Amino acid sequence: MVIGDVGGGVASEEPITASSFSELAEKLGLDPSSRWIGGYVEHAWNRRGALTAYLPPLEGLPVLEFGCNIGATAIVLGRLGANVTAVDVDANKIALAKANAADHGQTISFRHVPDTRALPFPTNCFKAITCVSVLEYVERKQLQNIMCELDRVLAPGGVLLIQGTSSRLAVKEVHSGRWFVNWLPYPVLARLQRGVWPWQISPRGYENLAFADKDRNYLSARLPRRSLALAATLAHFTGQSLGYFLPSIYLALRKPN
């Protein structure tokens, strides 16, 4: 297991190369016509509302996309004007992300970082960090180390946006589709994919921006009514945001100045 594994893949020492995004995807055993490969940028673009609702004005903003996978969110951030740096532990995913960005006419700094416990960036250098469907793939024992490292590179007043990370509060793990695995103790079926507890990825002292009408309006178009109602009830009684209680955690958090 790779230390600080992110993005759901195994890190590769020597990336596979090809002349185009589609050819490289096929060499890696991926389907370029899949929604989550060739169609991922369009999917991320259609869900860009959280990026514009909660992040600071994006034009020229230094943003880190943590666990970039094939680069979809990084490409969308670039389209919106951000100055994007993107990292992943998998060298092949970085190669694929570079090809993807080239196809979409975006210049993005993609970095292969095998150990994300020590990011190769100065302290306080990013104004925003996005984590999309990635923190559940971090090794359990390294999660807090990595959250501390994200805190280190995020500037005071910067925003940490977490989307799509599977929650251990959910009875059904959203990515694998397996029931009850989130609630099994780790020694039992330890290799099965699980979510994370929301409080594990909520740094102390950060302001939660995803409250009230803005939160409800953004989420209501994407969730079954019952799920939204249950999350709203839990949010009301705990004082947390709706995104804290969804099957896929959704948090917008601002670092104190």
- Whether residue 85 contacts residue 64, with contact meaning beta carbons closer than 8 Å, is answered with yes
Question: Can you say whether residue 24 is alpha, beta or left, with left for phi > 0 and alpha for psi between -120 and 50 degrees?
Answer: alpha
Confidence grade of residue 7 (pLDDT, cut at 50, 70, 90): very low
**Which one of 1.10.3720.10, 3.40.50.150, 3.40.50.300, 3.30.460.10 gives the CATH number of domain 21-254?**
3.40.50.150
- Whether residue 65 contacts residue 77, with contact meaning beta carbons closer than 8 Å, is answered with yes
User: What's the confidence (pLDDT) of residue 226?
Assistant: 66
Of residues 77 and 190, which shows the higher confidence score? Answer: 77
SS3 of 183, please?
helix
CA torsion, points 121, 125, 130, 136, in degrees to nearest 10? 40
Tokens 């960005």 appear where?
101
SS3 of 164, please?
strand
Give which of 212, 208, 198 is closest to 248, Cα–Cα: 198
Can you give the residue ranges of every domain in the chain?
21-254
Render pLDDT for 205-251 as a digit per residue (tens, 0 to 9): 999 887 644 544 555 555 566 666 777 777 777 878 878 888 889 89
- Whether residue 91 contacts residue 13, with contact meaning beta carbons closer than 8 Å, is answered with yes
Cα 103 to Cα 71, 76, 96, 106: the distances in Å are 11, 13, 11, 8
Mean pLDDT of 105-117: 96
pLDDT above 50 for 192: yes
Mean pLDDT of 28-55: 93
Euclidean distance between CA atoms 35 and 56, whole angstroms: 29
Please provide residue 24's backbone torsions phi and psi, each rounded to the nearest 5 degrees: -65, -40
